[in-house]
Amino acid sequence: MAKVQLANVAVLDNPSPFLNPFQFEVTFECIEELKEDLEWKMIYVGSAESEEFDQILDTIYVGPIPEGRHMFVFQADPPDVSRIPVNDALGVTVVLLTCSYRGNEFVRVGYFINNEYTDPELRENPPTQPQFDKVQRNILGDKPRVTRFKINWDDGTGSTTNGAQDSMEEQTMGDSAQEASSSKLGFSENTQNSMEVM
């Protein structure tokens, strides 16, 4: 059984200007003391076409973790706009939160993001070069996709890097119009049963 259970993730300051920091309030339960740190990452998916445009916005280490319920706010600067392909600057993309223990990812939370101009004229006639200072970011905070991986919590041996793919459970995003874009979430299609909503 997983020693850490993700209880809730709340999206803060949303919607917000594209250039504002990302903020997530993360709540998790630890069923017994963890002697080593949890590694949390926030990843912005710059393009559905290639992982080379993914940007790790921040990595933080939390620990050691005593038994009980814990909460923290994970804040990170927005992505480097120079690394986002022009054709992928606007529209739907994804932000991922991942957590690993001893180098093994055991949970991943993905959110669709819609980036668009707030000015109706810019929406109708978008400039050739995106004007990110006029773009609004809207994270679909009520439709997260949560994927859990089974890992070996007791020692570093016998665990598959990035979680055991054959022991993965996935919760879908729900009935969303953007589900056709779900490949951006980077989850394996070898899923088993649906999970409870957080």
Domains (range + CATH), the chain: 4-185 (2.60.40.1490)
pLDDT at 133 over 60: yes
Q: Which is higher by pLDDT, 171 or 62? A: 62
Whether the ω angle into residue 78 lies within 30 degrees of 0, i.e. cis, is no
User: In the predicted model, what is the mean pLDDT of residues 114-126?
Assistant: 95
pLDDT at 165 over 70: no
What tokens appear for 81 in the block? 């706009």
What is the C-alpha to C-alpha distance for residues 22 and 72, in angstroms, rounded to an integer? 14
Q: Which is higher by pLDDT, 197 or 160? A: 160
pLDDT tens for each residue of 67-76: 999 999 999 9
Strand partners, 43: 56, 96
Q: What does pTM read for this prediction?
A: 0.81
What tokens appear for 180 in the block? 């056709």
* Contact criterion met (CB below 8 Å) for 38 and 101: yes
